[in-house]
A and B are shown apart, each in its own frame.
Chain A
Amino acid sequence: MSSIKHPELSDIFNKDEERVNWHDDTLWWIRAKRDKAAHGISEWELLRETASQIKNNVLSNLHNYLIEFEEKAQKNGIKVHWAANAEEHNKIVLSLLQGKGINQMVKSKSMLTEECHLNEYLESNGIDVIDSDLGERIVQLAKEPPSHIVLPCIHKKKEEIGQLFHEHLGTEAGISDPQVLTETARIHLRKTFLTRRSALTGVNFAVAETGEFVVCTNEGNADMGAHLADIHIACMGIEKLIPKKKHLSVFLRLLTRSATGQPITTYSSHFKKPRKGQEMHIVLVDNGRSVQLGREDFRNSLKCIRCGACMNTCPVYRRSGGHSYHNAIAGPIGAILAPNLDMKEYADLPFASTLCGSCTNVCPVKIDIHDQLYKWRQVIVKEGYTSSAKTVAMKVMDFTLSSPTRFKLAGKIGRWTLKHAPFTVNNRLNLWFKNREMPEAPEESFSEWYKRNNSI
Chain B
Amino acid sequence: MSRATILSAILSNQPQTTQLPEDLQFDCPAKAAVTEKFIQMINLIGGRVVEIQRIEDINLYATAHYGAGERLITPIEELDFYTQFAGDEDPHQFENIAFAVFKTHFAVAENGAVWITEDRMGARVLPFICQHLGMLVFEDSIVSNMHEAYQLIGSQDYGFGTFIAGPSKTADIEQSLVLGAHGARSIIIFLLKKEL
User: Does chain A bind chain B?
Assistant: yes
Interface residues of A (CB under 8 A from B): 26, 29-30, 41, 43, 46-47, 49-50, 53-54, 56-57, 59-63, 66-67, 82-84, 88, 132-135, 138, 151-154, 156-158, 161, 178-179, 181-183, 185-186, 189-190, 193-194, 218-221, 223-224, 227-228, 238, 243, 245-246, 248-250, 252-253, 260, 262-277, 284, 286, 290-291, 293-294, 296, 299
Q: Are A29 and B175 in contact (CB under 8 A)?
A: yes
A63 CA / B161 CA spacing, docked (Å): 27
Q: Are A262 and B45 in contact (CB under 8 A)?
A: yes
Task: Scan B140-160; emit 1 where CB is below 8 A from any A CB, else 0.
Answer: 000001110111010000111
User: What residues of chain A lie closer than 8 Å to B72, measured between beta carbons?
Assistant: none
Known pairs A63-B7, A246-B23, A272-B158. 20 more at Cβ < 8 A? A49-B21, A53-B20, A62-B10, A84-B2, A134-B170, A134-B181, A138-B173, A158-B173, A178-B173, A189-B182, A221-B182, A253-B145, A264-B113, A265-B165, A266-B168, A267-B168, A270-B160, A274-B159, A276-B87, A286-B6
B195 at the binding interface (Cβ < 8 Å): no
Q: Which of B88, B125, B172 is A223 in contact with, Cβ under 8 Å?
A: B125
Q: Are B173 and A181 in contact (CB under 8 A)?
A: yes
Q: Are A224 and B125 in contact (CB under 8 A)?
A: yes
Q: Are A221 and B162 in contact (CB under 8 A)?
A: no
Contacts A47-B24, A270-B158, A276-B87; is A220 near B15 (CB within 8 Å)? no
B176 at the binding interface (Cβ < 8 Å): yes
- B176 to A, closest residue via Cβ: A178
User: What residues of chain A lie closer than 8 Å to B14, measured between beta carbons?
Assistant: 59-63, 293
A181 CA / B162 CA spacing, docked (Å): 28
Task: Scan B1-27; emit 1 where CB is below 8 A from any A CB, else 0.
Answer: 111011101111111111111011010
Q: Are B183 and A223 in contact (CB under 8 A)?
A: yes
Contacts A57-B19, A60-B17; is A275 near B160 (CB within 8 Å)? yes
A43 CA / B141 CA spacing, docked (Å): 24
A50 CA / B182 CA spacing, docked (Å): 34
Contacts A181-B173, A194-B95, A263-B110; is A227 near B18 (CB within 8 Å)? no
Q: Are B158 and A84 in contact (CB under 8 A)?
A: no
A224 CA / B180 CA spacing, docked (Å): 13
A133 CA / B162 CA spacing, docked (Å): 19
Q: Are B21 and A54 in contact (CB under 8 A)?
A: yes
Contacts A223-B125, A223-B128; is A273 near B173 (CB within 8 Å)? no
Min CB gap B59→A, angstroms: 26
Q: Which of A157, A193, A227, A264 is B124 in contact with, Cβ under 8 Å?
A: A227
User: What residues of chain A lie closer than 8 Å to B112, measured between beta carbons?
Assistant: 263-264
User: What residues of chain A lie closer than 8 Å to B173, measured between beta carbons?
Assistant: 134, 138, 153, 158, 161, 178, 181-182
A88 CA / B1 CA spacing, docked (Å): 10
Q: Are B150 and A219 in contact (CB under 8 A)?
A: no
Min CB gap B93→A, angstroms: 10
Among A47, A190, A263, find the residue whose CB has the most chain B CB atoms closer than 10 A: A263
A156 CA / B124 CA spacing, docked (Å): 34
Q: Are A138 and B172 in contact (CB under 8 A)?
A: yes
Contacts A183-B180, A189-B182; is A270 near B111 (CB within 8 Å)? no
17 contacts between A and B (CB under 8 A): A61-B17, A63-B10, A82-B2, A133-B172, A134-B181, A135-B172, A182-B180, A219-B183, A221-B182, A248-B146, A263-B110, A264-B113, A269-B162, A272-B160, A272-B161, A275-B160, A294-B13
User: What residues of chain A lie closer than 8 Å to B134, measured between beta carbons?
Assistant: none
Q: Are B160 and A157 in contact (CB under 8 A)?
A: no
User: What residues of chain A lie closer than 8 Å to B111, measured between beta carbons?
Assistant: 253, 263-264
User: What residues of chain A lie closer than 8 Å to B70, measured between beta carbons?
Assistant: none
User: What residues of chain B lie closer than 8 Å to A41, measured between beta carbons?
Assistant: 110
B75 at the binding interface (Cβ < 8 Å): no
Among B24, B110, B123, B170, find the residue whose CB has the most chain A CB atoms closer than 10 A: B170
Q: Which of A29, A88, A220 is B183 in contact with, Cβ under 8 Å?
A: A220
Q: Which of B20, B147, B182 is A219 in contact with, Cβ under 8 Å?
A: B182
User: What residues of chain B lie closer than 8 Å to A260, measured between beta carbons?
Assistant: 171
User: What residues of chain A lie closer than 8 Å to B41, measured between beta carbons?
Assistant: 263
Contacts A264-B163, A266-B164, A286-B9; is A249 near B149 (CB within 8 Å)? yes
Q: Are B91 and A294 in contact (CB under 8 A)?
A: no
Q: Are A53 and B3 in contact (CB under 8 A)?
A: no
Q: Are A223 and B180 in contact (CB under 8 A)?
A: no
A277 CA / B124 CA spacing, docked (Å): 13
Q: Which of B166, B174, B183 is A178 in contact with, Cβ under 8 Å?
A: B174
- A136 to B, closest residue via Cβ: B172
Q: Which of A135, A219, A253 is B169 in contact with, Cβ under 8 Å?
A: A219
Which 4 pairs show the lowest CB-CB distances between chains A and B? A220-B183, A294-B13, A263-B111, A219-B181
Q: Are B21 and A50 in contact (CB under 8 A)?
A: yes
A220 CA / B166 CA spacing, docked (Å): 11
Among A49, A152, A157, A224, find the residue whose CB has the most chain B CB atoms closer than 10 A: A224
Q: Are A63 and B125 in contact (CB under 8 A)?
A: no
Min CB gap A239→B, angstroms: 10
Contacts A57-B17, A57-B18, A296-B15; is A275 near B159 (CB within 8 Å)? yes
Among B159, B173, B174, B176, find the residue whose CB has the most chain A CB atoms closer than 10 A: B173
Min CB gap A179→B, angstroms: 5
Q: Are B180 and A277 in contact (CB under 8 A)?
A: no
Among B9, B181, B182, find the residue whose CB has the most chain A CB atoms closer than 10 A: B182
Min CB gap A67→B, angstroms: 7
A132 CA / B172 CA spacing, docked (Å): 12
Q: Are B183 and A266 in contact (CB under 8 A)?
A: yes
B33 at the binding interface (Cβ < 8 Å): no
B129 at the binding interface (Cβ < 8 Å): yes
Q: Are A67 and B7 in contact (CB under 8 A)?
A: yes
A264 CA / B111 CA spacing, docked (Å): 6
